[in-house]
Amino acid sequence: MRARDVLLNILWFLLGGEVLFLLYCIGGLLMMITIVGIPFGIEAIKLGSLSLLPFGAAVGNLPGIHGLRFVFNVVWFLVIGWIIALFHFLLSLIFAVTIIGLPFAYEHWKLGFVGAFPFGKIIVH
């Protein structure tokens, strides 16, 4: 990880990254109470790991087409994904007001897309 990414991750953590991480992880653990919610909880915790240290992390798609991923993404989006995406997109607009906030706006934009449809995504730190 580059020194720039380390510095931006520290600032991200101090400016609310830890809150996002805790919210995603608590939500993920609550989803795992039922057997049906386990895949959704895993994806929420994966989003939490991305929201903890987003700078220097790359998001990619898993290869192949998997029908269950599509169904899970539709259910996720209808239940919570659109709220997560809207939240991150609004935060990206707020951060984009200043030049200093542009890197944070980009990371919220990235989190918004992953938060809308997390199944089938892979995060590489």
Average pLDDT over residues 6-26: 92
Between 88 and 67, the higher pLDDT residue: 88
Question: Percent of the chain, pLDDT > 90?
Answer: 76
Please check whether residue 50 is in contact with residue 25, taking contact to mean a CB–CB distance below 8 angstroms. no
> Over the range 91-103, which residues count as b (16 or more CB within 10 Å of their CB) and which as e?
bbeebeeeeebeb
AA identity, residue 100:
I
